[in-house]
Amino acid sequence: MLMSSKPMFDLAYDGGFGIGAFNVNNMEITQGIIEACAAEKSPCILQISKGARSYANMRFLRKIIEACVEEYPEVPICIHLDHGDTVDLVQQCIDDGFTSVMIDGSHHEYEENVALSKAATDLAHANGVVVEAELGMLGGIEEDVVGLDAAEYEKNVEQFLTDPEQAKDFAERTGIDSLAVAIGTSHGAFKFTSEAKLAFNRVEEIMKTCPGLPLVMHGSSSVPQEFIDLINKYGGNMPNAKGVPEDQIAMAVRKYGVCKVNIDTDLRLALTAKIREVFATNPAEFDPRKYLAPGREAIVSMVKRKLDMLNSAGKADEVIAKWEADGKTMPAYYNKSACCG
């Protein structure tokens, strides 16, 4: 069932769970994600970045997600723009049937971030779409998102974290529905040079200044060592790749107000590791089905593991009941032919 992220976050904030926001780029990745969510009876957010729109063509991604909605009507699905950088892109995504958008002005000066985020929020809310914005700076690089150098970020992390008082001002002036916060996470596979430690004290302070505001963690892939080892075993070159420990992510969603956790790098690692394994162990193989299928299965297993970590398994029926009890339907502007009605 296609819906906004609002009923998901309403329940997650006080319910001790988080919603996995998984980036989709092609059919196999999307199939793996939705199959895992259906098996675990978990709500999910399928998010599409600017890079994915360019790579796959939004028409194709739209039809793939439409198939997910039709094939698994029992799974609550939110379609989300990841790291939108302009109001024009937000408009395009609204026209394409997205139910949630992110406007990321975190790389701008504060007042410019406020102005951009408010403009995007005003536009989205007028069309019944919820908005996520970002405040603070993350490290690492992923697609068009260029953060700070990992070593520099770790050394000076405190100065880049989201300021609680500024978060309050930002939320009040923009009217956003959720806030992506910088609490020590980082984009990409090479997030840290040593063990990551999330700034939970900062999350607690933000929860006090912004009570009830759903928080979002970007750069939250855990970079499982088994996939790094498999990639390196079969010709890869990824030494010292480190992610966010899963126990810290679990704590963020079970104890604090983190309602959405972005996961992209781990999906890429799982798919790449299995493809490399097939190519190395069976070099004569040329049938894409024979190497993409194992990659897809690895994604299914990976996502199931994440849903358990996020404590969202088994929450699908509760989310749907919340959506229906609130009297929510797809807004009038929504064009069924555009996406996934």
Active site residues: 82
- DSSP per-residue codes, 63-90: HHHHHHHHH-TTS-EEEEEEEE-SHHHH
Measured CA to CA, the distance from residue 18 to residue 244 in angstroms comes to 16
> CA-to-CA distance for 209 and 257, rounded, in angstroms?
12
How far apart, in Å, do the first and last CA atoms of the chain sit? Answer: 9
Q: Residues with Cβ < 8 Å from 126, sequence gap 6 or more?
A: none
Residue with tokens 């190519």: 279
Identify the residue whose tokens are 């009876």: 41
> What does the alpha-carbon distance between residue 18 and residue 312 come to, in Å, rounded to a whole number?
6
By the 8 A CB rule, do 311 and 249 touch?
A: no
Contacts with 172 (C-beta within 8 Å, 6 or more apart), sequence order: none
Structural Rg of the chain based on CA atoms: 19
Structure tokens at 248: 């810290």
DSSP string, 293-325: HHHHHHHHHHHHHHHHHHT-TT-HHHHHHHHHH
| Spatial separation of the C-alpha atoms in residues 241 and 196, rounded to whole Å | 12
Quickly count: other Cβ atoms within 10 Å of residue 1's Cβ: 17
CB 49 within 8 A of CB 41: no
